[in-house]
């Protein structure tokens, strides 16, 4: 609505959770304020970048004082959904799905997993850490009736595109994608990919290269 507001670049968005982690640590240690200069030294980035990044969200500081740590963390929490109540379902009750149900990082960020879905008749009807495992045929109805916001994809890749189409029609707003399938982001669906295979390949490249450098 405000024409002056520029779109926040993706790189900036991706740096914010890292600031948040550092500021949370400082808060825990009892510190109440910090300047961009001091934070930049701790984090190994420039003070300019911190100020520039924060200014995309309107700026969190005060001239001559710096940043009030509690205030900044609260602002980031509002912007980055740490205080919102998102409802999520996990598609695929395999090893990874199992690991994510119990993941504290999700729970702390107020994303509550309300159901898991799987094709295996062994799993359907059971519950994992108190979360029921339901049949894939119940997915559409459940998603609509419970106003689910987020779908966490940990299913085999051949089934992904069909499942995603169905979930989009049921009003899912965001996909947390752990499969190797590329999902298209469109206007009313957000996608966050966690490509573990890409990540391990990158690590392998770095290791191979590091060895070369040292020779």
Partner DNA sequence: TAGATTGTTAATCGATTAACAATC
Positions in the binding site for DNA (CB under 7 A): 9-12, 35-37, 45-49, 51-52, 54-55, 59-67
- Cβ proximity to DNA: between 40 and 190 the closer is 40
From candidates 46, 52, 84, 126, binder to its own copies by CB under 8 A: 84
Query: Distance between CA 158 and CA 174 in Å, rounded?
Result: 20
Helices (H), the chain: 10-28, 36-43, 47-55, 69-79, 95-101, 104-108, 139-145, 160-169, 196-214
Query: Distance between CA 42 and CA 106 in Å, rounded?
Result: 26
- Cβ at position 15, least distance to DNA in Å: 8
- Cβ at position 37, least distance to its own copies in Å: 19
From candidates 67, 148, 174, 183, binder to its own copies by CB under 8 A: 174
- Cβ at position 62, least distance to DNA in Å: 5
51 binds, among DNA, its own copies, none (CB under 5 to 8 A by kind): DNA
190-193 sheet: strands from edge to edge: 127-128, 131-135, 111-118, 86-91, 150-153, 174-177, 190-193
- Cβ at position 60, least distance to its own copies in Å: 15
């Amino acid at each position: 609505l405000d024409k002056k507001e520029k779109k926040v670049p993706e790189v900036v968005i991706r740096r914010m959770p890292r600031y948040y982690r550092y500021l949370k640590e400082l808060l825990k240690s009892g510190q109440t304020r910090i300047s961009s200069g001091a934070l930049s030294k701790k984090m190994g980035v420039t003070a300019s970048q911190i100020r520039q990044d924060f200014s995309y969200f309107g700026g969190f500081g005060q001239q001559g004082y710096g940043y009030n740590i509690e205030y900044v963390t609260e602002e980031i929490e509002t912007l980055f959904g740490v205080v919102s109540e998102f409802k999520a379902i996990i598609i695929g009750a395999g090893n990874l799905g199992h690991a994510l149900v119990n993941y504290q990082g999700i729970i702390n960020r107020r994303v509550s997993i309300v159901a898991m879905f799987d094709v295996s008749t062994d799993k359907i009807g059971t519950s994992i850490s108190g979360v029921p495992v339901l049949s894939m045929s119940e997915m559409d109805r459940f998603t609509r009736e419970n106003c689910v916001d987020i779908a966490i994809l940990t299913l085999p890749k051949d089934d992904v595109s069909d499942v995603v189409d169905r979930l989009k029609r049921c009003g899912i707003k965001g996909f947390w994608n752990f499969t190797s399938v590329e999902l298209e982001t469109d206007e009313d669906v957000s996608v966050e990919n966690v490509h573990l295979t890409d990540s391990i390949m990158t690590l392998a490249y770095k290791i191979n290269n590091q060895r070369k450098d040292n020779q």
